[in-house]
Structure 1
Amino acid sequence: MVEMDNGIVKLQLSKPTGHMTSIRYDGIDNILEDGNPEMNRGYWDIMWSKSENEKNVLFKLDCTNFRVIVETKNQVEISFTKTWNVASVKDNVLPLNIDKRFIMLTGVSGFYTYAIFEHLKGWPELHIDEARIAFKPDKDLFHYMAISDNMQKIMPTDEDMKRGKTLDYKEAVLLTNPTNPILKGQVDDKYQYSCENQENHVHGWISSQPHVGFWVITPSDEFRSGGPVKQDLTSHSGPTALAVFFSGHYASPEFRIKLHNGEPWKKVFGPIFIYLNSDSGNKPVTLWKDAKQQMMIETKKWPYDFPSSKDFPSARQRGSIAGRLLVRDMYLNKNIHPAKSAYVGLATPGDVGSWQEDTKGYQFWTRTDAMGYFTIENVREGIYDLYGWVPGIIGDYKYNRMLIIKPGTKVKVGNIVYDPPRNGPTLWEIGIPDRSAAEFYVPDPNPRLVTHLFINNTEKFRQYGLWERYAVLNPTKDVVYRIGVSDYRKHWFFAHVNRKTGKNMYKPTARKIVFDLKNVIEKGTYTLRLALASASLAEIQVRINNPSAKRAEFTTRQIGRDNAIARHGIHGLYSLYSVKISGSQFVNGRNTIYLTQTRVQGPFNGVMYDYIRLEAPPPQ
Structure 2
Amino acid sequence: MMLVLAGVNMIFPNLVVIDNGILQMTISNPDGIVTKIVYNGIENLLEETNTEDNRGYWDLNWSAAGSTGTTGFYERIAATSFSIVVEDEEMVEVSFSRTWDASYQGKLVPLNIDKRFIVLQGSSGFYSYAIYEKLKEWPGFNLAQTRIAFKLNKKWFRYMAVADDRQRDMPLPDDRLPERCQTLAFPEAVLLTNPVEPEFKGEVDDKYQYSCENKDLQVQGWICKDPPTGFWQITPSDEFRTGGPLKQNLTSHVGPTNLAMFISAHYAGEDMVVKFADGEPWKRVFGPVFMYLNGLPTGFDWNWLWQDAKEQLFTETESWPYSFPASEDFPTSDQRGSISGRLLVYDSYSDEDYTPADGAYVGLASGTEVNSWQLQSKGYQFWTKADESGYFYITDIRAGDYALCAWVPGFIGDFRSFSISITAGCIIDMDDVVYKPPRDGPTIWEIGFPDRTAREFYVPDPDPNYVNKLYLNHPDRFRQYGLWDRYTELYPNDDLVYTVGVSDCQKDWFFAQVTRKKDNTYIGTTWQIIFKLENVNQNGVYKLRLALAMANQAELQVRVNDPKADPPVFTTGLIGHDNAITRHGIHGLYRLYTADIEGVKLVQGDNTVFLTQSRGGSPFVGIMYDYIRLEAPPDSD
Task: Give the TM-score normalised by the residue count of structure 2.
Answer: 0.95
CA contact (8 A) 2:447 2:629 kept: yes
Q: Which residue, 601, 616, 627 being the options, matches 1:585?
A: 601
1:483 paired residue number = 500
Code of the aligned partner of 2:23: V
Q: 1:313 to 1:40 in 2, by over 3 A?
A: same
Alpha-carbon shift at residue 182 of structure 1 (Å): 1.1
Separation in structure 1 between the aligned mates of residue 454 and residue 545 of structure 2, nearest angstrom? 16
1:53 alignment counterpart = 67
Matched, 1:251 2:268: yes
Match of 1:145 in 2: 160
1:351 positional shift? 7.3
SS in 1 for 2:293: strand
Confirm or deny that 1:314 pairs with 2:332.
yes
Alignment of 1:187 onto 2:201: no
Does residue 18 (structure 1) correspond to residue 36 (structure 2)? The answer is no
Listed one character per residue, the Cα deviations across residues 86-112 of structure 1 (whole Å, up to 9, x for unaligned) are: 3444x5232110110000001100000
Q: Alpha-carbon deviation of 1:282? A: 5.4
Which residue type is aligned with residue 593 of structure 2? Y
1:509 is displaced (CA, Å) by: 1.1
Match of 2:150 among 120, 126, 135: 135
**Residue pairs, 1:423-442, within 5 angstroms:** 423-442=440-459
Q: Which residue of 1 aligns with 2:537?
A: 521
- AA in 1 matched with 2:175: D
Query: TM-score scaled to structure 1, two decimals?
Result: 0.98
Asked if the contact 1:353/1:396 (under 8 Å) is kept, the reply is no
Q: CA RMSD in A?
A: 1.2
Are residues 1:419 and 2:432 paired? no
Task: State the partner residue of 1:102.
Answer: 117
Q: What stretches of structure 2 of length at least 5 have no aligned partner? A: 1-14
2:190 to 164, 173, 176: 173
User: What is the match of residue 271 of structure 1?
Assistant: 288
Distance 1:291 1:87 in 2: 45
Q: Secondary structure at the match of 2:470?
A: helix
Partner of 2:3: none
Q: Cα distance 1:282–1:469, how it changes in 2: closer, same or farther (>3 A)?
A: farther
Residue 87 to residue 448, structure 1, CA distance change in 2 (3 Å): closer
Aligned position for 2:174 = 159
Aligned 1:373-392 pairs, distance under 5 A: 373-392=391-410
Which of 351, 368, 372 is matched with 1:354 structurally?
Answer: 372
Q: Is the 8 A contact 2:552 2:620 kept in 1?
A: yes
Q: Given the alignment of the two structures, is residue 295 of structure 1 paired with residue 309 of structure 2, yes or no?
A: no
CA contact under 8 A between 1:353 and 1:387: conserved in structure 2?
no
Match of 1:607 in 2: 623
> Partner of 2:176: helix, strand, or coil?
helix
Deviation of the 1:58 alpha carbon? 1.1
Matching residue of 2:524: 508
Shift of residue 284, structure 1, vs aligned partner: 4.1
Once structures 1 and 2 are overlaid, which stretch shifts more, 63-72 or 273-282? 273-282
Partner secondary structure for residue 402 of structure 1: strand
Letter in 1 for 2:122: G
Written as runs of structure 1 = structure 2, the 5 A alignment for 1:176-215 is 176-215=193-232
Match in the other structure for 1:120:
135
Matching residue of 2:244? 227
In 2, distance between residues paired with 1:577 and 1:550? 20
Please, which of 570, 577, 580 is the counterpart of residue 561 of structure 1?
577
Equivalent position to 2:362, from 341, 344, 368: 344
The Cα shift of 1:507 comes to 1.8
Distance of aligned partners of 1:112 and 1:339 in 2 relative to their CA distance in 1, 3 Å threshold: same
What are the Cα deviations for residues 123-171 of structure 1, in whole angstroms up to 9, with x where unaligned?
1112111000000000111111110011111111111012200000110
d(CA) in 1 for partners of 2:112, 2:243:
24
- Shift in Å, 1:285: 2.4
How much does 1:283 deviate? 4.2
Cα 1:492–1:353 change in 2 (3 A) is farther
Distance of 2:257 and 2:516 partners within structure 1: 35
Which residue number in structure 2 is paired with residue 241 of structure 1?
Answer: 258
Distance 1:370 1:4 in 2: 47
Alpha-carbon distance in structure 1 between the residues aligned to 2:412 and 2:597 = 19
Provide the rounded CA distance (Å) in 1 between the counterparts of 2:354 and 2:217: 34
CA contact (8 A) 2:369 2:376 kept: no
| Equivalent residues of 2:551, 2:624 under 8 A apart | yes
Tell me which residue corresponds to 2:7: none
Identical-residue share of aligned pairs (%): 54
Superposition misfits of 4+ residues, deviation over 6 angstroms = none
| Aligned counterparts, 1:488-503, within 5 A | 488-503=505-520
Give me the whole-angstrom Cα distance separating, in 2, the residues matched to 1:295 and 1:391: 27
Q: Is the 8 A contact 1:462 1:568 kept in 2?
A: yes
Structure 1 equivalent of residue 79 of structure 2 = 63
2:89 aligned to which of 55, 65, 73 = 73
78-87 vs 381-390, greater mean Cα deviation: 78-87
Residues 353, 397 of structure 1: 8 Å contact kept: no
Output one character per residue of 1:230-271: Cα deviation in whole Å (capped at 9) or x when no partner.
001000001111000011100112312211111100000000
- Identify which of 538, 558, 565 aligns with 2:554: 538
Contact 1:352 1:387 in 2 (8 A): no
CA distance in 2, matches of 1:360, 1:334: 39
Instruction: Find the aligned partners of 2:138 and 2:197 in 1 and give their Cα distance.
Output: 52
- Contact 1:208 1:282 survives alignment (8 Å): no
The 8 Å contact of residues 79 and 102 in structure 1, kept in 2 or not, is answered as yes
Q: What amino acid is the match of 1:510?
A: T
In the alignment, is the contact (CA less than 8 A) between 2:219 and 2:235 conserved in 1?
A: yes
Relative distance call for 1:500 and 1:63 in structure 2 (3 A) is: same
Aligned letter for 1:63? A
